[in-house]
Amino acid sequence: MSKNQGGNKHQGGSKTHLGHRARKRFGQNFLNDDYVIEQIVDAINPQPGENLIEIGPGLAALTEPTADRSGHLKVIEIDRDLVERLQHHPFLGPKLEVIQADALSIDFSQFAEKNPARVFGNLPYNISTPLIFHLLKFADHLQDMHFMLQKEVVDRLAAEPGSKSYGRISVGVQQACKVTPVVAVPPSAFTPPPKVESSVVRLEPYRDSPHPVKDKAQLHSLCLTAFNQRRKTIRNNLKQLVPAEQLEALGINPGARPETLSVDDYCRISDWLTEQAEQNDSQ
């Protein structure tokens, strides 16, 4: 979005913005506050020649200033109307490679043949968690990710063990990435304004994780089970998977609540489950 189109903080009552109607099924809320946009682009710090990919460019609020700084980027957009707008945009068109697709179905490794990808976007709230877990599958091909999310989701991504926000997404993401909240975004920065606070988070995939794990899919599956009933003990939640004496052997108190275990604790349990599966397969 160009500077002269942004900054309309107070037109939030309308569901139509720049001639485009926000679509509920795509979770669209359009960013239109110049100051916030500049803060976010500064946090991303796009440079010429970088392998930049934006998910859900919408009305190009972040796309235009990013393209101005980088010269070129790929954008992934599911909404056909917005794809057409971007392809025929008088200034942006030549700087963009527009991919009409659902980001959840894309193999992101295909974009990182020459250098790692830098992924960013204002993610619809309804797909943010599954999309982040999808991208983690390609962490080896990503330099970093910057996402605007519901503040509550960013709090969960960055949460420490023992806090109410700490859960499966905290463990899964912190195992793979350094997590840094970078910009707070008020509802007034969007059209239509959402009913929640937003925040931008930086995720930097580790080359060598401080929390190594043998099988990330196993870890994610374990966390789904462990956090399914937060009020129960880890012994109860994992009783179908891990005997209590095995938890003790791994240095974990079976009477602890799931949110009190560290990322390393979950990685140790996950690795034990992986070893059990390998032993069973070899018999």
Annotated binding site for S-adenosyl-L-methionine: 29, 31, 56, 77, 102, 122
Name the amino acid, one letter, at 140. Answer: D
DSSP track, 48-108: TT-EEEEE--TTTTTHHHHHHHHS-EEEEE--HHHHHHHHT-TTTGGGEEEEES-GGG--G
Name residue 7's amino acid. G
The Cα–Cα gap between 270 and 272 comes to: 5
Q: Could you give the angle at which helices 34-44 and 63-70 cross, rounded to 10 degrees?
A: 40
SS (H, E, C) 210-239: CCCCCCHHHHHHHHHHHCCCCCCCHHHHCC
Which string of DSSP letters, residue by residue, matches 133-168? HHHHTTGGGEEEEEEEEEHHHHHHHHPPTTSTT-SH
**Residue 187, helix vs strand vs coil:** helix
Distance between CA atoms of residues 187 and 170, nearest Å: 24
- Residue 166 identity: Y
At residue 212, the 3 state secondary structure works out as coil
Binding-site residue set: 29, 31, 56, 77, 102, 122
CB 279: neighbour CB atoms within 10 A?
9
Task: Report, in this order, helix, strand and coil percent for the chain, each rounded to 5.
Answer: 45, 20, 35
Please say whether the dihedral angle defined by the alpha carbons of residues 85, 119, 51 and 136, taken in this order, is positive or negative.
negative
